[in-house]
Chain A
């Protein structure tokens, strides 16, 4: 009996370990081969940092830098606008009548549930129909439109958890509605606003399809993801420096998220112990 449950435990543990190995193998391989200056997974060029060096001094360094800049600028601008728009809207939606709130929440849900290709295509048709200037305008509008719903989704629960009398208590104590919102509601929902901002930023950086379809062919604007895509389609495929770039991105993303979540996990465990 003891033996059976022991084998079961070992089986379970090995299943999880194998699954994790499978999940991480491709990206770990990418990191390993970034040190072999290669454009395929092969060791033939020997260990070197050449790939990383060519990030900065190859003919494409400028384009790569531009793509990185674009990615960050678009993500920063659109996530800031999304956060302001979304946080203010959430406060408004919260105090709407039940029926109109339901309607707005359902429309807000559309970009979240909708398939990205449909959003991308419909935005493209819209921009073409109304002759929006190609380039940053289209991209920013596009990014704001699919980032803001996430801000609202992360602020709304905070508002719902808030004691419904809090706002009234502030008015009761003499604060005008605007003062009450600034001094009471916004501080209380600020964790939601912050995580909404982080989410909007990440989603914007991560986006490929909507950017790809709306960047326009003649503007020459590329974000990292669209640049990767177009590099893949150029003759000869990816160059070695991409391996280095990918590895940096992987380490940066996984590392940051792991750190943030570990801290969250630890503080939660701490509360539990208390």
Chain B
């Protein structure tokens, strides 16, 4: 059985053309897929935003900016996003910093990341029941708590990665040159950890303003975030304005991603997975 009989002409070689081309062909189905289901939907989003009654128009943009409540929601979301992000840095940095010095740090970071894999609806609802049980009224405060609770792992992880990758000899050199621990931290460790902070910021800020459902469960009746109001617009069949809002969201995404790529080429973010 081991001997297979085949007839092979001498010209086997010339039959197979450039073998380099054959390999990149493997990417074509996916490239086609990307075109169809990633690029096309975004193009249609653009079309929906700019075409009103089969004509190019800024009407949807005008509607969005004239409607005070939508702009208010955007501003409110940005404010909530900033507060959440700052809190995540203030609370998450010490965690990442302390753990970067521990030998068991990697393992404990894992404990901080684990809850993230439990569906966010479950975690958000648990928080809500907790507040209800203690008797705290749902509002902006509980919303921010919920957001920080949800997104702080995204801050701790890139920070921890950056901080533990900083060569120890830098801070040793600094103290050798006469800097005290506080100086060493602010002159050496902190500046070197900025890429981690930046990627943490993008990973917290963007999801916060675009999040959907958390504010419904934790924000009480008044606090709505931008993601929810995009959803509401589409629920009410207001596709034009909804598309405009999605594009504004997309612009925020692209800007923050641009900064992230510029500072650290997304290294820290990729380590999340």
Contact = CB atoms under 8 A, between A and B. Distances in A.
Query: Does a CB–CB distance below 8 Å link A and B in the complex?
Result: yes
Interface of A: 12, 15-16, 19-20, 22-27, 29-30, 33, 40-42, 85-86, 88-89, 91-97, 100, 104, 107-111, 113-119, 121-126, 129, 141-142, 144-145, 148, 150, 152-154, 171, 176-177, 181, 199, 202, 206, 208-209, 212-213, 224-225, 228-229, 232, 238, 246, 249-250, 253-254, 257-258, 261-262, 265
Nearest to A41: B133
A121 B23 CA distance: 35
Please classify how large the interface on chain B is, using the bins under 10, 10 to 19, 20 to 34, 35 or more.
Answer: 35 or more
Contacts, number: 223
Contacts of B253: 113-115, 118
A232 B239 contact: no
B170 interface: no
Instruction: Choose among B99, B121, B122, B239 the residue with the greatest number of A CB atoms under 10 Å from its CB.
Output: B122
A15 B34 CA distance: 45
A29 B115 CA distance: 14
B26 A91 contact: yes
Contacts of A148: 30, 33
Nearest to A16: B98
Given A30-B129, A95-B20, A117-B227, A257 B117 contact: yes
Q: Which of A16, A199, A258 is the most central at the interface, judged by chain B CB atoms within 10 Å of its CB?
A: A16
Given A15-B94, A92-B23, A148-B30, A249 B122 contact: yes
Contacts of B94: 15
A181 B106 CA distance: 36
Contacts of B99: 16
B52 interface: no
A199 B123 contact: no
Nearest to A22: B149
Contacts of B242: 121
Nearest to B19: A177
B169 interface: no
A12 B98 contact: yes
B37 A145 contact: yes
B27 interface: yes
Contacts of A25: 130
Contacts of B125: 30, 228, 232, 238, 246
Given A85-B33, A91-B23, A199-B273, A29 B126 contact: yes
A22 B98 CA distance: 17
Interface in B196-225: 206-207, 210-213, 217
12 contacts: A26-B123, A27-B118, A27-B122, A118-B246, A122-B45, A124-B234, A125-B48, A145-B37, A150-B273, A225-B119, A254-B118, A262-B107
B32 to A, nearest CB: 10
A15 B95 contact: yes
B273 A154 contact: yes
Give the one of B30, B107, B234 with max A CB within 10 A: B30
